Amino acid sequence: MFSQSEENYLKAIYQLSSITKDGVSTNDIAKKLETKASSVSDMIKRLSEKKLIEYKKYYGVRLTKEGEHIACSVVRKHRLWEVFLVDKLNFSWDEVHDVAEQLEHIKSPKLIEELDAFLGFPKKDPHGDPIPDKHGNYHVVEKTLLSNLHPGEKGICIGVKDSSSDFLKYLDRQAVKLGDEIAVMAKEDYDDSIHIKIDKRELNISKKIASNLYIQTP
Amino acid sequence: MFSQSEENYLKAIYQLSSITKDGVSTNDIAKKLETKASSVSDMIKRLSEKKLIEYKKYYGVRLTKEGEHIACSVVRKHRLWEVFLVDKLNFSWDEVHDVAEQLEHIKSPKLIEELDAFLGFPKKDPHGDPIPDKHGNYHVVEKTLLSNLHPGEKGICIGVKDSSSDFLKYLDRQAVKLGDEIAVMAKEDYDDSIHIKIDKRELNISKKIASNLYIQTP
DNA sequence: ATAAATTTTTAGACTTGTCTAATTTTTAAA
DNA sequence: TTTAAAAATTAGACAAGTCTAAAAATTTAT
């Protein structure tokens, strides 16, 4: 069995790996986990001895098959718990993260399979991220950032890149939800803000907002 | 905030306190937590510094108001999670303990209040133990052990004293459930076994079994 | 190609929580 | 009441995980 700390490192490496084909650097892990590079170095040694990652000093790390399996199952648990909190316990999507960070470490295969069934085998978490099934498989949907769309183009909002509470609350205030159709009306060269039409309303949003909304591409 | 280990000690002291009016001894705690007396001594010092228990060397410990509050909330969480597992996730009453031991340490006031509501504010866990409400209040039902009943007496089975998996599985095999009416037909002096009538069936059970079943007294 | 900047690792310290072995205190027994 | 047994505590060690500060390796820039 693995400690919560080990699981957190594996999850961080798993998520950082998905955005680069190179190994993951010590510093990147440290930043992601808000810890010191020296602590990461120590943990890398431990995980390496346990054959959960591959590691050569001064080079990045990669997950082994087993490391990836564990990381993926932690992600699965995290996202299933998020669905539970939102669907069953009236949490809003900006409140779930910290609790799911705790719940993802509960050890019980039966618990997670039953929870999955209880929730109706959801495919996405409240932020639009895919939930791996028990074998680690998940469906990748073609998507792009709203900031990449040109005036006249449109699509369905299917996820958020940043799932910080502040960003999600902003979306709530603007009544922007997953599943909404968003059409880009115009782009403002001066500040890169864009004018969109969403759900019959028109709205002006900044470049930063547009860079954190995923749009399904047909 | 308190560590899982600290919470476990407080819970153990809380539960041991309920069966004696004296302070709780180091050895009793060690036995309950399956650890060494020296470890208990160490932890007692820490909890005492944090004002969660009162402690005088070589005498038993008692919870302070705050210590009791924490312990009670851990018990509340444990029992609510047990109800969740049985009512919603198809766990049987002999499978819930270990998972609830983990879940009871999740920190989120909203989580536990919403869970309580989601479950319909249950008053008892699957083993018949009372669930404290958010203020720490719970209803104590007058009860006695089945082994204390005399031939001719009867009552409703409302709880188990031992909630080990082995005992609960035995009850399942004999189809003895909480809520069943049990009447004592006869007692056997030779081995203290008793003959009972339950749910139209007649059954012979040992002294040990009868000493672990709670019966509601009118 | 060498120096400067950055990244990574190591050395050593600290905390939490545990253990064994030895000692002290309390309790029970003769 | 002195002794033996039981219970509790202390001393010292260890493992996990973290940190700071310093050293080593690598990368970048001139």
Percent of chain B with pLDDT over 70: 100
Half-sphere exposure (Cβ direction) of A149: Cα atoms closer than 13 Å? 30
Task: Report the sign of the C-alpha dihedral through residues B121, B123, B129, B131, in that order.
Answer: positive
Closest listed residue to residue A156, CA positions, set A134, A137, A130, A128: A128
Tens digits of pLDDT across chain A (218 residues): 899 999 999 999 999 999 888 899 999 999 999 999 999 999 999 999 999 999 988 888 999 999 999 999 999 999 999 999 999 999 999 999 999 999 999 999 999 999 999 999 999 999 999 999 999 999 999 999 999 999 999 999 999 999 999 999 999 999 999 999 999 999 999 999 999 999 889 999 999 999 999 999 87
Split at pLDDT 50, 70, 90, the class of B54 is very high
The DSSP H or E segment spanning A82 is: helix A65-89
CB contact under 8 A, A118 and B89: yes
Beta bridge partners of B154: B183
Strands B213-216 and B143-145: antiparallel
CB B194 within 8 A of CB B207: yes
pLDDT score recorded for residue A58: 81
Residue linked to tokens 């769309």: A149
Is B34's pLDDT higher than 90? yes
pLDDT score recorded for residue A199: 86
Residue linked to tokens 């866990």: B125
Residue linked to tokens 């459930």: B177
Question: From start to end of B99-208, where are the E strands?
Answer: 143-145, 154-160, 181-187, 194-198, 201-205
CB contact under 8 A, A110 and B103: no
User: Which nucleotide comes closest to A45 if you measure CA to C1'?
Assistant: C9
Split at pLDDT 50, 70, 90, the class of B21 is confident
ipTM of this predicted complex?
0.93
**Complete domains list, chain A, with CATH:** 4-63 (1.10.10.10), 143-216 (2.30.30.90)
Q: Cα A157 from chain centroid?
A: 15
Is B111's pLDDT higher than 90? yes
Residue linked to tokens 């469906």: A139
**A and B: number of Cβ contacts within 8 A:** 40
**Residue B61 corresponds to which tokens in the numbers above?**
């410990």
Q: Tell me: the pLDDT tens digits for B159-211?
A: 999 999 999 999 999 999 999 999 999 999 999 999 999 988 999 999 999 99
Closest listed residue to residue B101, CA positions, set B121, B122, B119, B85: B85
Query: Looking at the complex, does the CB of residue A83 fall below 8 Å from at least one CB of chain B?
Result: no
Q: Tell me: the pLDDT tens digits for B112-162?
A: 999 999 999 999 999 999 999 999 999 999 999 999 999 999 999 999 999
**Residue A87 corresponds to which tokens in the numbers above?**
């669907």
Q: Which residues of A touch B103 (CB under 8 A)?
A: 103, 106
Query: Looking at the complex, does the CB of residue B88 fall below 8 Å from at least one CB of chain A?
Result: yes
pLDDT score recorded for residue B78: 98
User: Which nucleotide comes closest to B8 if you measure CA to C1'?
Assistant: C17
Chain B: residue nearest A116 by CA? B89
> Considering chain B, what is the average pLDDT of its residues?
96
Beta bridge partners of A198: A182, A201
